Structure 1
Amino acid sequence: MLVGTYLLYAAVMVAVHPRIIYPFGADAFENPAFRQEVVSPRDVSIAISEGEDDLAVLFFMGNGGSLAYFTYSLNAHQEAGRTVAALEYRGGAGIEGRPSEQGLKADALAAYDWLAAQHDGPIAVHGFSLGTGLAIHVAARRDVAAILLDAPYTTLCALMTKGSYLPACYLPFVQKWRSLDDVPALSAPVLVQHGTADQLIPIAYGMDLADAMNAADLSVTFHGVEGASHNNLAGQAGYQDRINAFLSEITKE
């Protein structure tokens, strides 16, 4: 009976896990500094604010699913004068569609291709939480100048395993988000910022990812942000300064 109950629990969790991964908010992103673009045959939604800096940043938010919740991260680039383009996720903030790992990754590549066609200079990718998987996915397949990762993970299915007591990385039909698999294809320098008090994605996951990147001979700068939790990382003192210093060194090369 216990085995049967566990198998039933596993089947239910496989069926409902997308709702857990993508609890997107409905708040629309309304910032007059940004204009909305719908691009590519996939009808990908992008919010873009143009700056004068030669470097543009393609931003991928976390699973809040609405850019309205990520103003600190967007402001970090706007205030530095960079063009920042942010992917708006299907199923959040009034954007039609249903999110999935495969679909979001395809949208992320389409967003990069559109931005690259519009912007003559180098492009960096910046991801937060869930979005770090998209930033890494794009950086493994497109030419990027830098990779910025806030509260990244090695594999999202490992976090699911910890939370569900199920072998999520081995279950069929589970969206696994294996960032580690893309590490060998990366070449750009990486900045990782991770809160020491992050309980949603503990800092050990970010450290393990950084270790894998170092082992792949990537240039990795890791900052453990003392006392920062998952949701207040971007609001901590020094967050923007670390980004600016890192990108300044990259653009000098």
Structure 2
Amino acid sequence: MKLLLRFLLALLVLIVACYIGVVGYMYFNQRALQYSARGEVVALGDTGLNNADDITIQSGDAAINGWYQAPRPGMPVILYLKGNSKSFSEEHERFERFAADGYGFLAFDYRGFPASPGEISETNILDDAIAAYDWLDAKTEAPILIWGRSLGSGPATYVASERDAVALLLETPFLSAVNVAAERYPILPVALVMQDQFRNDLWIEDVSEPVLVAHGTADRTIDLSNGERLYAQAPNPDELWIVEGADHSDLWDAGIWDRAKPFFDRAMNR
């Protein structure tokens, strides 16, 4: 009996030690685990954006790099806040469609992503997004529309809560980054150790702009329930667009741009 008790105690100590080790590893390496910032930067000259410019925006003591194209007269401009992986420049097909339909756009890489040097953190991402909005607001008198995709739903919601845009479109958003982490690692104390939590659930309360949330039922990266719950908390909800069978990166091909344009028109005419 004593031998069994010693064995069980040793096993318990081993389990606790392993648990503490896993938590410690995740704490000290959390940003490397949270962000996927590798990727190629597509040159502007290799796209169909013949009227866009390479731009650099000062954000605190850092510089962020991106592309800007002015809208046609009377049209709005989209502040596009990218997702977690690769460079914004790899999504040039989106920007080409924006421009073809007369919309202006500003898109860029946050600090630490391929086109912009620096350190990745929630604070830096939010600061970069605010700096981009303010640069755009000073650059043009056109109405500003905010589009945040995936990780970009965090800075998009934050900017909309701090600035006066015309509309907020959230593509595959999270309720909060810490909520997604808790769903993935339910046995770990992520709320206690996670530094970059991106609390959309708190910021959305201060968003006065009309909100469209788009999500897919087969999203394996951010569960659909995140988008549904965030939309339910929006003070000024306009549309919840759910695409049956769509995964995390499927909404562009599913026609989100054709859904976005009437939403932007409604917001512009309010």
Question: When the two structures are superposed, what TM-score results if normalisation uses the length of structure 2?
Answer: 0.87
Matched, 1:29 2:56: no
Residue 93 of structure 1: how far off its partner (Å)? 2.0
Matched, 1:18 2:22: no
**How many residues are treated as equivalent by the alignment?**
248
Residue 142 of structure 1: how far off its partner (Å)? 0.5
Question: How does 1:166-205 map onto structure 2 within 5 Å?
Answer: 166-171=188-193, 174-205=195-226
* Structure 2: runs of 5+ lacking an equivalent: 1-12
Paired with 1:79 and 1:170, the residues of 2 have a C-alpha distance of 46
* Structure 1: runs of 5+ lacking an equivalent: none
Counterpart of 1:117? 138
Matched, 1:209 2:227: no
Residue 192 of structure 1: how far off its partner (Å)? 0.9
Q: Of 203, 215, 235, which residue of structure 1 is paired with 2:253?
A: 235
Question: How does 1:1-253 map onto structure 2 within 5 Å?
Answer: 1=13, 2-32=15-45, 33=49, 34-40=52-58, 41=60, 42-52=62-72, 53-164=74-185, 165-171=187-193, 174-213=195-234, 216=235, 218-236=236-254, 238-253=255-270
Based on CA coordinates, which of the two structures has the bigger radius of gyration? 2
Paired with 2:116 and 2:63, the residues of 1 have a C-alpha distance of 10
**Cα contact 2:55–2:67 (8 A) shared by 1:** yes
Residue 26 of structure 1: how far off its partner (Å)? 2.5
Equivalent position SS for 1:39: strand
The structure showing larger relative contact order (alpha-carbon pairs under 8 Å, at least 6 residues apart) is: 1
Residue 72 of structure 1: how far off its partner (Å)? 4.5
| Runs of 4+ in structure 1 over 3 Å off | none
- Of 45-54 and 190-199, deviating more is 45-54
**Cα contact 1:80–1:244 (8 A) shared by 2:** no
**Cα contact 2:56–2:65 (8 A) shared by 1:** yes
Residue 87 of structure 1: how far off its partner (Å)? 2.4
Equivalent position SS for 1:234: coil
Paired with 2:97 and 2:212, the residues of 1 have a C-alpha distance of 14
**Cα contact 2:182–2:191 (8 A) shared by 1:** yes
Equivalent position SS for 1:38: strand
Residue 46 of structure 1: how far off its partner (Å)? 2.6
Paired with 1:208 and 1:71, the residues of 2 have a C-alpha distance of 30
**Cα contact 2:41–2:90 (8 A) shared by 1:** no
What amino acid sits opposite 1:51 in the alignment? Answer: P
What amino acid sits opposite 1:102 in the alignment? Answer: T
Paired with 2:109 and 2:248, the residues of 1 have a C-alpha distance of 20
Give RMSD over aligned pairs: 1.6
**Cα contact 1:136–1:179 (8 A) shared by 2:** yes
